[in-house]
Amino acid sequence: MDLYIVDGTYELFRAHFGYPSRKSNKGKEVGALKGYINHLQSLKKNNDYLCVSFDSIVESFRNKLFSEYKSSNHIDPEILQQFPLAEEVTELLGITLLSMKEYEADDGIATVCTLFENEFNKIIIGSLDKDLMQCVKKDKIVMYSTRYKNFTNENGVFEKFGVSPEQIPDFLALTGDSSDGIPGMKGIGQKTASELLQKYKNIEAIYENIEIWKSNLRGGVRHSETISENYKLLQLFKDLTTLRTDVDVPKKTRDYQAKDINIKGLEKFSNNFQLNINL
């Protein structure tokens, strides 16, 4: 049996940009919600074990560590106000919801992957989020792009980034991740980061061996100065990009089995927001 994990926040955003605007009778924007529901209903038809991890609130413990980390301040209010509705309808559809408050949806996903790696034949993560690439393991835990309709296994991570999945936090610490508000090290792009990480396992080893590689790498002197002068910040960035695997999630495989929909609750929800949900 396989487990499909939905990155709920990603899917709601994808629906927001991919589906036409839709208003309830009270003028509430629900276009993203409609697309999100359609996606979950489609997934439920083909997956017996399924869960959705969702950023209940955008802010997390990472905002306390780094003030420039992503926050709700720059999110369109029209999509932000659909977050709680998406969580509500997930449970009405009979799908296990991992509602993240102190942590992020990605942390919930990483924790489930760690807990159940040996309990399911395969775990499929429905997302394009680069952070989640660190969860990938061979063909056992893979990513699936609902946008491009393709899978990414461990070899695929290397083909795309030039690093192994466990090196993704180091890679993102060096290059930055604009979607999360992490600037990375100035002047260090993907090519340089992957070249360094192919020779040295992590940022710690890169730092320890600066005197060796700074003369052999293109732009090495400049990059070595950047890393030396900003090493504590680089360590912070790695901490930010490292997903937590010990958050509170359901511990039994049966907790992730799809359940019957709440027909009355879903019908009421649909009528309240004029969603015309197929029951």
Q: In the chain, what are the domain boundaries?
A: 2-161+244-273, 165-240
Cβ pair 145, 110 in contact under 8 A: no
Mean pLDDT of the chain: 97
Q: Examine the pLDDT at 218 and tell me if it is beyond 90.
A: yes
Q: Examine the pLDDT at 147 and tell me if it is beyond 90.
A: no
Report the pLDDT averaged over residues 39-48.
97
pLDDT given for residue 126 in this prediction: 97
Of 3.40.50.1010, 3.40.47.10, 1.10.3430.10, 3.40.50.300, the CATH number of 2-161+244-273 is: 3.40.50.1010
Report the pLDDT averaged over residues 98-102.
97
SS3 147: coil
Q: Examine the pLDDT at 74 and tell me if it is beyond 90.
A: no
Helix extents (H) in the chain: 8-18, 31-46, 61-65, 77-80, 83-92, 105-116, 154-161, 168-175, 190-199, 203-208, 210-213, 220-229, 231-241, 263-273
pLDDT given for residue 257 in this prediction: 98
Domain 165-240 = CATH 3.90.950.20: no
Give the single-character DSSP code of 149. T
Q: Examine the pLDDT at 184 and tell me if it is beyond 90.
A: yes
Q: Examine the pLDDT at 2 and tell me if it is beyond 90.
A: yes
Q: Examine the pLDDT at 62 and tell me if it is beyond 90.
A: yes
Q: Examine the pLDDT at 279 and tell me if it is beyond 90.
A: no
